Amino acid sequence: MSLLTVENLRVTFDTETGPVQAVRGVSFSLGRERLGIVGESGSGKTMTGRSVLRLIRPPGRIEADRMEFDGQDLMRIPETGMRALRGRRIAMVMQDPKFSLNPVMRVGEQLTEGLRRRDRLGRAEAVRKALAALEAVQIRDPERVMQAYPHELSGGMGQRVMIAMMLIPEPDLLIADEPTSALDVTVQAEVLQILDTLVRDRGMGLIFVSHDLRLVARFCDRVLVMYRGRIVEELPARELMAARHPYTRGLLNCLPRIGGARGPLPVLDRSGDWADD
C-alpha cells in the first residue's frame, strides 16, 4: 500500500497582482521508497513538498482531489491533527537551513526542545540523543556544535543539523528539500547512506528534492521532473541520465563534466513545444 497519494495537487497564490499558480495539477504516489523531484528553479518543487505538510502561508492555498497519508485524508484533518503529524510522522528538511533555524537559540536547545517537550525525555537523555544524531550526520565536534548559534556553523553543518533535527523523531515520511546542496561529496555520501538505511530498514518514505540531477539519478528509485508547476516526465532514476524529454535533456546538457571542454556551457533552450504550457 502506498504511504502517500497525491492527486491533482494545485497551489495558487492569490497575490495583489492576480493569482499565481505555483503547482498546477501534480499527481504521484509514494511507497516506502526514495522519490526524487528535480526541475529548474521556481518549478514548484518546494511548494509540492510543503503542501503535503499543509505548510503554505496565505495568500497561498492548496487544492487537491486527493491527498492521503497512511490512510488519513490530509485535506480534511483539522489543524490540530496536522500539528500532531508534522515533525513526528512527516518531517521536512527545509531548503534554507540558516533561515529555518532560530538564529538566537543555541543548536543544542533547538535539537533537544522537541525531545523534551514531545517525548518527555529528561535533559541528559535528550542531550545524549541529540549528540548521537549529530554524530550520525558526520559532525566532527558535536559537543561544540550543540553550544553554537546557527551563524557559527558552516553552510554544510547547518544543513546537517537540520537533517539531524528532522530524523530524531523517526518520521514515517521525510521530505528533504535540497538537503545536501552544501555538502562535499564524501559527507554527502554518508548522509545519503543514513537516509538509505532508514528507507530500507525502517520503511520510511523519502521525497528528495534536488537540483543535482546526477545525485538523484544515483540515489533515488523514481524521479519526477517538474517544469512550471507540472510534472513533465516521470521515470525510473536509473534512466534519468538517458532521459528523452527535451526539457530533461536540456537540463542534463547544462552540466559541466570533469575533463570536459572549457568553452561556454550550453544553457537551456526554451523554444521547444514543451515550454508552452
Partner 1 sequence: MTDRPAIEIDRLDVTFAAKGRAVRAVQGVSLAVARRESFGLVGESGSGKSTILRAICGLAPVSGGAIRLGGDPLPARRGKDFSTRVQMVFQDPYASLHPRHTIDRTLSEPLAIHGIGDTDARVVRALQDVGLPAAFRFRYPHQLSGGQRQRVAIARALMLNPQILLLDEPTSALDASVQAEVLNLLTRLREERGLTFLMVSHDLAVIDHMCDRILVMQHGRAVEEIAHADLAAGRMQTDYARSLFAASADRMLS
Partner 2 sequence: MTALTDWLTDPDPKSRAQARLGQAWLSWLRLRRNPLAMTGLVIVVALLVLAAFAPVFATHDPIAQNLGQRLLPPGTPGHWLGTDDFGRDIWSRIVHGARITLYIVALVALTAPVLGLVIGTVAGYAGGWVDTVLMRITDIFMAFPRLILALALVAVLGPGIFNAVLAIALTAWPPYARVARAETLTVRSSDYIAAVRLQGAGAARIVWGHVMPMCLPSVIIRVTLDMAGVILIAAGLGFLGLGAQPPLPEWGLMISSGRKFLFDQWWVATMPGLAIFIVSLGFNLLGDGLRDVLDPRSAGR
- Contact residues for ligand ATP (CB under 6 A)? 13, 15, 20, 22, 39, 41-47, 60, 95, 152-157, 182
List 59, 122, 203, 272, residue binding partner 2 (CB under 8 A): 59
* Residue 170 sits in the site that holds partner 1 (CB under 8 A): no
Q: Please report the sign of the dihedral spanned by the C-alpha atoms of residue 215, residue 246, residue 177, residue 100.
A: positive
* Residue 103 sits in the site that holds partner 2 (CB under 8 A): yes
- Amino acid type, 246: P
What is the Cα–Cα distance from 89 to 152, expressed in whole angstroms?
30
Element spanning 9, H or E:
strand 4-15
95 vs 138, beta carbon nearer Mg ion: 95
What one-character DSSP code corresponds to residue 1?
-
Q: Please report the sign of the dihedral spanned by the C-alpha atoms of residue 261, residue 267, residue 271, residue 274.
A: positive
Select the span of 51-59, 108-116, 182-190, 238-246 touching partner 2 (CB under 8 A).
51-59
265 binds, among partner 1, partner 2, Mg ion, none (CB under 5 to 8 A by kind): partner 1
Binding mask 212-241 for partner 1 (x = CB under 8 A): -xxx-xx-----------------------
Closest by alpha carbon to 98, among 42, 162, 53? 162
Helix (H, G, I), strand (E, B) or coil at 82: helix
* Residue 271 sits in the site that holds partner 1 (CB under 8 A): no
Closest by alpha carbon to 271, among 247, 244, 245, 248? 247
103 binds, among partner 2, Mg ion, ligand ATP, none (CB under 5 to 8 A by kind): partner 2
Q: How far is the CB of 92 from partner 2 (least distance, A)?
A: 17
36 binds, among Mg ion, partner 2, ligand ATP, none (CB under 5 to 8 A by kind): none
